Structure 1
Amino acid sequence: MKIIELRSDTFTLPTPGMRDAMFSAPLGDDVFGEDPSVLALESKLANMFHKEAALFCPSGTMSNQMAISATVSKGQEVICDELSHIYLYEGGGIMANAGASVKLLKGDLGRLTKSQIEAAISPDDIHACESAMVSLENTVNKGGGSVYSSESLDEISNFCKKKEIPLHLDGARIFNAMAVTGQIPSQFGAWFDSISICLSKGLGAPVGSVLVGNEAFIKKAKRIRKRLGGGWRQAGMLAAAGIYALDHQVVRLQEDHQRAKAISEICSTLLWVESTLPVVTNIVIVKIREGLNSTIKVAELAQKGIKCSPFGAEYIRFVTHLGFDDEDLSRFEKAIKS
């Protein structure tokens, strides 16, 4: 029985073309700043997002945490949605790494508004925790791949600039968002002070994320990366995979979105499914009926060859990616309805 892998888009494998690019990549020592492939990847994304500099990192968690530590001082706070990856899934890094507090807001499927953020800014009072960063996520993982509109980002960015509060983006699936909205990288570069961009999810690289920002910020982030043990050596083979992904595997993200919508439609016909969150990108979150348990249901689906993830007691998540094609979709429908 062939496994249908829908736990995460991190399960993608390098394509033959990507493997060729990796094995032919020119290499050097990145800790000394001499790996030409790493430098090419960093330059490519800095230019793409209209930022001064970029830094290649092993993971999105590291790039997010580096951004927070480079921006927020001990005793200050980060404002984010309660569904944010930086809060839920990064091992308490905001506290452990930056010594900072978190102010959680309840948005719409993980999306905050300018008015919510404005109301959350701490007063200039020694009794209050100083608000030092606003962090958004786009797409929102726990929000079922929800995306921000340009109008909303305009309002939030303008407000943060006016208040002189740095605005960070956890852009783990930022290219999925752009595939839906038609937004372009330079817009995000103008909206945000720092952006974490993941290469190992829908884009299909085996590992890696890139943090972009101004030169002073990236210089500080690089020191933090070293302290965390994130210095690379001949990392060019991995950087070459990221370059290949950006050149060849962005447009096809729309295929993942179409298959995700098909999965949602299939699930909506199942007796054990109560509802699904709106599907706009490559993440499908279904709510199971009362009395059922998501962990047990996921185990049952695994017996049918479908691997997915429990997302709390009442929810199950399916994520489409380049390793899941139309043939897999057909097999999924037959298996889940059997």
Structure 2
Amino acid sequence: MEEFIDLRSDTVTQPSQEMREAMYKAVVGDDIMGEDSTVRELEIMSADILGKEAALFVTSGTMGNQIAVMTLTNRGEEVIVGNTSHIYNLEVGALAALCQVQARPMEVPNGVYDIKKMEGLIQEKGIQNAKTSLICIENTNNLNAGYVVPLDNLNNVCNLAKRNNILVHLDGARVFNAQVASKTPVKEIVKNADTVMFALTKGLAAPFGAILAGNKDIIAKARWMKQRMGGGYRQAGFLAAPGIVALNTMLPQIEIDHKHALILGKGLAKINGLKVEISKIHTNIISGSIEDLPTTIDCFIGKLMQKGIKVKRISEVSFRMVTHYGVGESHLYEVIRAIEDIVDSL
């Protein structure tokens, strides 16, 4: 198999040997009946890490987000979302198709929510209005940037919601990246959100799953919603086992990923004609622009592929790179040299 340096996402990682062994040796039971002890261990462990009463193991971040919305809203209500958020852009229209709610998007420049603008979007129930019942926030913010949302900004959103009897769901797919970058305990980051989801498959490098957490009543209802969606598991402990390993072993890797992102970003920023804003690299995501280069994004990405490097196209002139467990420091310099060669040849 041809080897690539794959920077498209931190979801492309291979499970560690310890994860593979944990999968093989996992104690399993019928999860729908509450008898899979490995799943229970992961859920209890996750709730404790987040400072929440209970947690639910789900297939993916998308499933976790949509179950949260189904649990916290009623059909026909309105949900405020960031216009660059995953839940709004990359979940196949599930807010409308599955949750049957109306999305009200707002801009979140550089990962900061404008509280006054958000307040202006809140709608009371009226004869012609869809009542605002939920605010969905995201930390890290913007799937193509990975901005860390300031803690006071998160708390201001939650305070606004509380004043208006609105619930808050936090899409924390990369919330541990936010913890590492901000040096703020994850319990503090998620404290005021009614529900929070995090992915096991991104920086934590597990091969499967996500966690949704909240209070006991919310998670009990969420478990029922998961079953309605066909998400009930039988002997799922072998899927949960690598998640336990990830939470126990992979947090130090996230700090390495952030250091690697800065090395890569600083190296790319020195290449004439290539635009990379170092100040916008908060975590493990680097965005670059070729708008000043005499090439197209598809041609540029194609040339990288020929050199064994995969990146993600995010617009007509820009691309994304994400550092992760599968990318070593030597790979970073190889990527920088490859892009230097491509730019020099234009």
| TM-score where L is the length of structure 2 | 0.93
Q: Confirm or deny that 1:79 pairs with 2:89.
A: no
Match of 2:327 in 1: 324
- 1:286 Cα offset (Å): 0.9
Counterpart residue number, 2:199: 198
1:173 match: 174
Alignment partners' CA distance in 2, 1:292 and 1:77: 42
- Which amino acid letter does the alignment assign opposite residue 187 of structure 2? S
Distance in 2 between residues matched to 1:334 and 1:101, nearest whole Å: 47
CA distance in 2, matches of 1:103, 1:136: 12
What secondary structure sits across from 1:201 in the alignment?
Answer: coil
CA contact (8 A) 2:140 2:175 kept: yes
Which of these residues, 282, 290, 300, is aligned with residue 288 of structure 1? 290
Mapping 1:271-282, distance limit 5 Å? 271-276=272-277, 278-282=280-284
Residues 8-45 of structure 1, C-alpha deviation per residue, up to 9 Å, x if partnerless? 10011111122222222211111111100000000011
1:6 is the counterpart of 2:7 = yes
Distance 2:31 2:144 in 1: 36
1:115-194 correspondence runs (5 A): 115-194=116-195
Q: Which amino acid aligns with 2:284?
A: N
Partners of 2:111 and 2:149 within 8 A in 1: no
Q: 2:71 maps to what in 1? A: 70
Match in the other structure for 1:301 = 304
Per-residue deviation, 1:142 = 3.3
Instruction: Please state how far the C-alpha of 1:113 moved relative to its aligned partner.
Output: 2.8
Separation in 2 of the partners of 1:18 and 1:54? 21
Cα separation, 2, equivalents of 1:119 and 1:148: 20
Compare 93-102 and 147-156 and name the one that shifted more: 147-156
Contact 2:54 2:219 in 1 (8 A): yes
Q: Which residue of 1 aligns with 2:23?
A: 22
Q: Residues of 1 paired with 2:191 and 2:340: CA distance?
A: 46
1:267-302 CA-to-partner distances (Å, cap 9, x unmatched) read 212344234361010011112215643233211211
In 1, Cα distance between the equivalents of 2:83 and 2:160? 21
Q: Match of 2:191, SS?
A: helix
How many residues end up aligned between the 2 structures? 338
Give the C-alpha shift of residue 143 in structure 1: 5.0
Aligned to 1:48: 49
Which letter maps to 1:206?
P
Mapped partners of 1:260, 1:211: distance in 2: 28
- Aligned-partner Cα distance in 2 for 1:66–1:149: 26
SS in 1 for 2:201: coil
Q: For 1:232 and 1:330, locate their aligned partners in 2 and report how far apart those are by CA, in whole Å.
A: 43
- Corresponding residue number in structure 2 for 1:222: 223
- The alignment partner of 2:98 has SS state of helix
Q: Which stretch shifts more, 38-47 or 213-222?
A: 213-222
CA distance in 1, matches of 2:236, 2:263: 38
- RMSD over equivalenced CA pairs, Å: 1.6
* 8 Å Cα contact 2:140/2:173 also seen in 1: yes
Percent sequence identity is: 36
**TM-aligned CA deviation for residue 129 of structure 1:** 1.6
Q: Which shifted more, 157-166 or 91-100?
A: 157-166
Matches of 2:49 and 2:276 in 1, distance apart? 38
Aligned residues of 2:36 and 2:235 also touching (Cα < 8 A) = yes
Cross-structure match for 2:243: 242
**Structure 1 residue 248: deviation in Å?**
0.7
Q: Deviations over 1:225-257 (max 9, x none)?
A: 112211111111121111111111112211101
Residues 294 and 314, structure 1, Cα contact 8 Å, conserved in 2:
yes
Distance in 2 between residues matched to 1:172 and 1:211, nearest whole Å: 10
- Relative to structure 1, the CA distance from residue 182 to residue 275 in structure 2 (aligned partners, 3 Å threshold; closer, same or farther) is closer
Partner SS, residue 78 of structure 1: strand
The secondary structure found in structure 1 opposite 2:319 is strand
Task: State the secondary structure of the residue aligned to 1:191.
Answer: coil
Provide the C-alpha distance between the structure 2 equivalents of 1:329 and 1:275, rounded to a whole number of angstroms: 15
Q: Which amino acid aligns with 1:309?
A: K
Q: Who is 1:210 aligned against?
A: 211
Question: Structure 2: where are the runs of 5+ without partners?
Answer: 342-346
| Preserved contact between residue 112 and residue 150 of structure 2 (Cα < 8 Å) | no
Quote how far apart the aligned CAs of 1:305 are.
Answer: 0.9
1:250-265 to structure 2, matched below 5 A, reads 250-265=251-266
Q: Is 1:81–1:110's contact at 8 Å kept on the other side of the alignment?
A: no
Match of 1:94 in 2: 95
The 1:316/1:143 distance shift into structure 2, 3 A limit, reads closer
Deviates more, 1:278-287 or 1:141-150: 141-150
* 2:263 aligned partner, one-letter code: A
Most deviating of 182-191 and 90-99? 182-191
